[in-house]
Structure 1
Amino acid sequence: MSMSPEVIGFSFIILGVLLIIGKWLRVSTPFLQKFFVPSSIIAGLLGLLLGPEILGKMGVELFDIGGLFPESMLEVWEELPGLLISVIFASFFLSKTIPPIKKIWRISGPQITFSHFISWGQYVLGISMAIFILTPFFDLNPAAGALLEISFVGGHGTAAGLSGTFSSVDFEEGKDLAIGLATVGVLAGVILGIILVNWGARKGKTEILNSPNDITEEQLKGIISEENQEDEPVGKKTTRSEFIETFTVHFAYIGVAIGVGYLILEGLILLEEALWVDTIELFTHLPLFPLAMVGAIIVQLLVDKCVKHKIFDTGIVNRIQGFALDLLIASAIATLSISVIGEYWVPFLLMSITAIAWNVLAFIYIAPRMMPDYWFERGIGDLGQAMGMSAAGMMLINLADPQTETPAKKSFGYKQIFLDLIVGGGIVTAASVPIIVAFGPVPALIVATVVTVGWLLLGLLYFGKKEKERT
């Protein structure tokens, strides 16, 4: 059965069925509500359970490879994350007015610094583990040193989006390890985040205290009751539907942004081939998605300059981005290879524990010293994001500061411009595997250590002191 149009269409239908079952399970299971597990993760785990990796191994076989899904459907799902990640990253800066850099730095400088410190620190720990443990004892590719940052700060999208890069440097198992680590990161991030908000509330660490017990049943179930529903919850209409649908216009511009990113990438590859005669290949292994983000900034700037009417609506762009992320997470987890994680379960466990411990310790001990004003409300969002999901970071900020009385939420949004272009799925994250392969883990470790120490000193000596003087 080849990857025909019918198979591709049917693959989306079954993914939709899994997502709606995931939503039903979430609405009817208090345990899943309590820990804010997203429906997309439940859908992915359900797909994994019913596929060849679990049900197939138990002897249930509807198709050749075991489980309830044909191989051609799993092939479609495997390709989806690599395509959808570009949609997600192109959506980051479309419809956003990019404020002056000075203003961003003034409002969210401490969070930018703390997030970079956590991210680069994950490279230091990961590459150190690769040099001293993962490569010598478990024969893993030295590029495994980049997995902590790719999976935890980058999340599912980045982990799945880099599957082509892992293959191109002969590190096939990297994809499954990365998606597995991202799943551990998101679940641990939400659970530990809620525990920390409770701890912060009890110990007086939060400045706006609001007990997480105040969360409504509606919020827990993730639904909006009829009286609270809005007429146009998706966003504003910016074009007349009889000529072109507003949703279509936004989707088309996302496509244009990805196209611009593709042209930039192809240009960089040609430039690399023309200038570098030796065997170092960086841009050849670089994925499209970070450049789709650059493409989006270019498109946004051109639209601002050349189009008189306001055609972008942030709500619609966010809905398209959220839709792509739900499909991405569900398909990435459903096609996870448990046998690869089983084969490398010791390094997998070591990497999970190391990254989680680093994130939590940095939050408890470093965040208050970098961000003395509202450090808890600001830092808890960065912790959630460092565990693998910006959405988890936003949710934790909402728990700690439900009425938006602190600058945490605004700073969190502004911070993404300085973070996502570089780490957490940006140029450095995407290039980290080819860089380690091309130059070796030791130079990469030295650079990561210098950068981590630089961010730490900036946070402690500049923002820490500055804020203390003001308060």
Structure 2
Amino acid sequence: MFPLEKITGGTLNNLLFYISIVGLLLVVASLIRLKVRFLRKAFIPASLLGGLIGLALGPHALKIIPATMMTSIGSLPGTMITIVFSCMLLGVKKEETGAHALHDSVTGLLWLWSNSFMQVGATSLLCAVALIPIFNINPLFGSLFEIGFAGGHGTAGGMASLFEDPTLLNWSDGASLAPTVATIGLLVGIFGGMVAINYGVRKRYTKILAEPAQGNDVLEIYPEGNRSASSNMTVSQDVVEPFALHLGVIGIAVIIGRLIVWGVGIVFKYKGLPLFPFAMIGGWMINFVIQHSSLRDLFDRATFQRIQGMALEILIVAAMASIKIPVVVEYWMPLLIATVIITVFMYFWLFWLSPRVFSHCWFEQGIIRFGAFTGVAAVGYMLLRTSDPKMETDAGTIYALGCPLMSPFIGGGLVTTMYPYFIKNFGALAAGLTLCTASIALIVVMRLFFWNRTIQKQQR
């Protein structure tokens, strides 16, 4: 048998081996995903499946992957999330918008911000009123659903080191619970979103789709002659390999982020800042300079997205595989209760709030946000393409317009990383009341300035 126990050090060769193990899990999961019909119909991503396979092979199940190796694999998300966030704003160009798109992008932002406040506020209140007195759980549990649902596996993996650090959040259970909540959110987004779409079809809420949504006819392997470019060359290979150039730019963004963290530590004597949101700021700074220079055509947004996607796939597999099953079992009841409550609120935002604030294709605009804030943006776009197969509505474009004022802050950004500290400093009750009040206040703002005079739920 291959001596896995001997590969436990922290050298670069061992890091390469750990990533190779993750890559093997991802390839095996991809082959299973392509062949098993149920997984295809359910839109289960290969990265999630690969993580579950790794979990089964790990020290809490079959014990094929030893605990020492799994600990090292579990540290990969903290590195990969920095790459993911570095790419967030690189290569983004300014887009022109119409009047209704501007209106709906603003309301869409308020929709997302109010939802973010709700996810933390409602869970924190639940902790204060019931979960802490009954189950004696840590008040930081209140931050998990915004981290996992709105933030996804990327943010959950990135926050693991903060939860584990005794000088910062000092709640090691959160490192395992956050990716678990992210997985629950992904399932809620996929299955709950498909239920919502089929219900919307029957109620004539969908603007385009007139028949129940199916996943059987989705093309998953593109044959030769039916392939599109995943990225574009922006510079001659005689100068530099374009992929290497973009990777180098990501490295500069990380360095800028590191300098910001170092500077804050020097000035404010505070060393608890995570790197990944500041790496995103570094990427924004680079992109701002380049887009206002003669080199504006040097960056290819699609290349950054491919690098970002690769890092995210590795992150999800590693985060899922390294979950500590005993911790999850211990918290199963609080997780179940909070999941039901947050899911009900998500449907409320979709079916009650969306038709009242969006002036155009309300269901499509609601479903992409429902998917993004229960899973990730990819789930949101998957649900949108299911309800609008040819992308005939402007829902996707309008959602993208608001991302620069959403992604850097909530759903995995700076504000998301601050939620646990807010709860830790002020307590679950105060945090819950404050954030729920903020969520309601944003809905009141929408009611005063952006409400539809006539609410027309049926769109066809």
TM-superposed deviation, 1:107: 4.7
Task: Name which of 423, 426, 437 aligns with 1:439.
Answer: 426
Are residue 246 (structure 1) and residue 242 (structure 2) matched?
A: yes
Residue number in structure 2 paired with 1:430: 417
- The residue that corresponds to 2:328 in the other structure is 341
Q: Aligned residue pairs: how many?
A: 446
Residue 441 of structure 1 deviates from its aligned partner by: 2.9
1:223 match = 221
Q: Please name the residue that 1:360 is paired with.
A: 347
Instruction: Measure how far apart 1:424 and its partner are.
Output: 0.6
2:23 aligned with 1:16, yes or no?
A: yes
1:248-263 superposed matches below 5 A:
248-263=244-259
| Distance change >3 Å, CA 99–CA 271, structure 1 → 2 | farther
Cα distance, 1:444 vs structure 2: 2.2
Cα 1:309–1:376 change in 2 (3 A) is closer
What residue in structure 2 maps to residue 42 of structure 1?
Answer: 49
Q: Secondary structure at the match of 2:292?
A: helix
CA 141–100 in structure 1, closer or farther in 2 if over 3 Å, else same: farther
Q: Distance in 2 between matches of 1:450 and 1:307?
A: 47
Partner of 1:185: 185
1:447 Cα deviation (Å)?
A: 2.7
Q: Which runs of 5+ in 2 are unaligned?
A: 1-7
1:35 deviates by: 0.9
Preserved contact between residue 29 and residue 49 of structure 2 (Cα < 8 Å)? yes
Measure how far apart 1:467 and its partner are.
8.1
CA distance in 1 between counterparts of 2:372 and 2:342 reads 13
Q: 2:263 is matched with which residue?
A: 267
Match of 2:4 in 1: none
Deviates more, 1:7-16 or 1:38-47: 7-16
Contact (CA 8 Å) 2:117, 2:436: kept in 1 or not?
yes
Change (3 A) 1:135 1:466: same
SS at structure 2 position matched to 1:131: helix
Q: Would the alpha carbon gap of residues 235 and 3 (structure 1) be closer, same or farther in structure 2, given more than 3 Å must change?
A: same
Structure 2 counterparts to residues 266-345 of structure 1, below 5 A: 266-273=262-269, 284-308=271-295, 310-345=297-332
Are the aligned partners of 2:18 and 2:72 in contact in 1 as well (CA < 8 Å)? yes
Task: Tell me, yes or no, if the aligned pair for 1:210 and 1:401 is still in contact at 8 Å.
Answer: no
The answer to whether residue 57 in structure 2 is matched with residue 70 in structure 1 is no
* Seq. identity, %: 30
Contact 2:41 2:215 in 1 (8 A): no
From 415, 420, 445, the equivalent of 2:407 is 420
Residue in structure 2 matched with residue 61 of structure 1 by the alignment: none
- Please, which runs of 5 or more residues in structure 1 have no aligned partner? 56-66, 274-282
AA of the residue aligned to 2:237: S
- Mapped to 2, the partners of 1:153 and 1:242 lie a distance apart of 42
1:166 to 158, 163, 166: 163
CA distance in structure 2 between the aligned counterparts of 1:284 and 1:368, rounded to whole angstroms: 45
Contact 1:218/1:224 (<8 A) preserved: no
What is the distance in 1 between the residues matched to 2:380 and 2:259? 33
Task: Tell me the TM-score normalised to structure 1 length.
Answer: 0.89
Q: Are the counterparts in 2 of residues 212 and 399 from structure 1 also a CA contact under 8 Å?
A: no
Partner of 2:375: 388
1:164-221 per-position Cα deviation (integer Å, ceiling 9, x unaligned): 22123221101111111110110121011111111111210011125354656343xx
Further displaced range: 436-445 or 343-352: 436-445
CA deviation profile, 1:119-170 (whole Å, cap 9, x unmatched):
1111111110121222222222212111111111111111110112212322
1:82 to 69, 78, 81: 78
Q: Output the amino acid matched with 2:181.
A: L
**2:152 aligned with 1:151:** no
Q: In structure 2, what residue type is equivalent to 1:83?
A: T
Partners of 1:223 and 1:256 lie apart in 2 by: 35
Secondary structure of the equivalent of 2:209? coil
Residue 437 of structure 2 corresponds to: 450
The aligned residue for residue 4 of structure 1 is 11
Contact kept in structure 1, 2:371 and 2:377, CA below 8 Å? yes
SS in 2 for 1:25: helix
Amino acid aligned to 1:152: F
Mapped to 2, the partners of 1:198 and 1:43 lie a distance apart of: 29
Do the aligned residues in 2 keep the contact of 1:53 with 1:338 (CA within 8 Å)?
yes
Partner of 1:162: helix, strand, or coil?
Answer: helix
Shift of 1:308: 2.9
Given residue 73 of structure 1, which amino acid in structure 2 is its aligned partner?
M
How much does 1:468 deviate? 6.4
- 372-381 or 205-214, which deviates more: 205-214
Please identify, of 454-463 and 173-182, the stretch whose mean Cα deviation from structure 2 is larger: 454-463
Residue in 1 that maps onto 2:200: 200
Between Structure 1 and Structure 2, the one with more helix by share is 1
- TM-score, length basis structure 2: 0.92
For residue 300 of structure 1, what is the amino acid of its counterpart? N
1:67-146 aligned within 5 A: 67-99=63-95, 105-146=102-143
